[in-house]
Amino acid sequence: MIRPTARPRRVLAFAVLGVACLSLGLRPQVLEVGRAGPRIWVSDGDLLSLRYTQSMYGVPVEERLRVEHGSLVLFEVVSTDAALEYLGIEARGANNARRVLQDFCIPADSVGNHVLFVAGRSILLSSVAAEGGSIRIRLVRQPFFIYLIHQLREPWR
């Protein structure tokens, strides 16, 4: 008797779950990193950060964001005083920024070595395929079945 491998069983389990969830209308909130990049299930209150090297001063910058009511809220930027001033931020510390975003883009040819940290994962944005010269990071609501399909195909794990 030939035993099925783990992948076909996983595909079957995802298909069954997907059909069940499609019929229930589940639409998780997902952080989409590029069109073909990873998709990460997020909930209100989840934190993510974008770390990179600021090109003018060559110093590290960390932008901290929180998922709130279907948006990404930039609430803190950590860097040197000069870099903060360049970014138009007048203070250091928690809540030194307040910007509500639906999405943001990183130029594909950026030299800042951008890394996105979310849900215990680090994603080097230069490893994500660009579209139109940039990598778009955004929150979307998608059917659970579509989310499962992306998880099956995702080479990012």
Q: Given this model, what pLDDT does residue 114 score?
A: 95
State whether residue 127 is helix, strand or coil.
helix
Contact 44, 72 (CB under 8 A): no
Q: Given this model, what pLDDT does residue 89 score?
A: 84
The pTM (predicted TM-score) of the whole model is 0.78
- The alpha carbon of 69 is separated from its chain's Cα centroid by a whole number of angstroms, namely 16
Q: Given this model, what pLDDT does residue 23 score?
A: 59
Q: Given this model, what pLDDT does residue 138 score?
A: 95
Beta strands 29-33 and 134-141 are antiparallel
Q: Given this model, what pLDDT does residue 56 score?
A: 85
Which residues, in sequence order, are CB contacts of 132 under 8 Å at separation 6+?
A: none
Q: What is the pLDDT along the chain (157 residues), one digit of tens a residue?
A: 556 566 777 777 777 766 665 656 687 999 999 988 899 999 999 999 999 999 888 899 999 999 999 999 999 999 998 888 888 888 888 888 889 999 999 998 887 899 999 999 999 999 998 988 999 999 998 878 777 777 777 654 4
Q: Given this model, what pLDDT does residue 144 score?
A: 81
Q: Given this model, what pLDDT does residue 21 score?
A: 59
